[in-house]
Amino acid sequence: MAYCGKCGNQIDEGVKFCPVCGAALQVEQPEAVQPEPQQPVQPEPTAEEKLQQATQTIDSVAQKLGNTAEHSAVYDKTDAEANKVMA
């Protein structure tokens, strides 16, 4: 139940005018609920796209592993020749 802001009389909900004093009543409109913005759905990558991504990752790692610095000049060549063994 609501009350008239001018005379204080109890009035029914949704009434636009007070039945006792005739004052115009402000009818409160319910606030419009804004829907939360939804995140765009990312499509699941296809098997081919997953394979391509995995291949690129493997190629990148292989390139890093194969790109090692040359350190043979640090060691004595005669020591390497004298101690050759099959690993």
Q: Give the pLDDT confidence of 16-46 residue by residue, as tens digits.
A: 888 888 888 776 656 677 888 888 888 898 9
Mean pLDDT is highest, among 8-17, 41-50, 77-86, for: 41-50
Q: What pTM was computed for the model?
A: 0.34
User: Residue 86 pLDDT more than 60?
Assistant: yes
Reported as a single tens digit per residue, the pLDDT across 54-76 is 999 999 998 888 887 887 788 88
Chain position carrying tokens 């997953």: 50
Chain position carrying tokens 């099959």: 86
Three-state DSSP class for 85?
coil
> How far is the C-alpha of 54 from the C-alpha of 42, rounded, in Å?
19
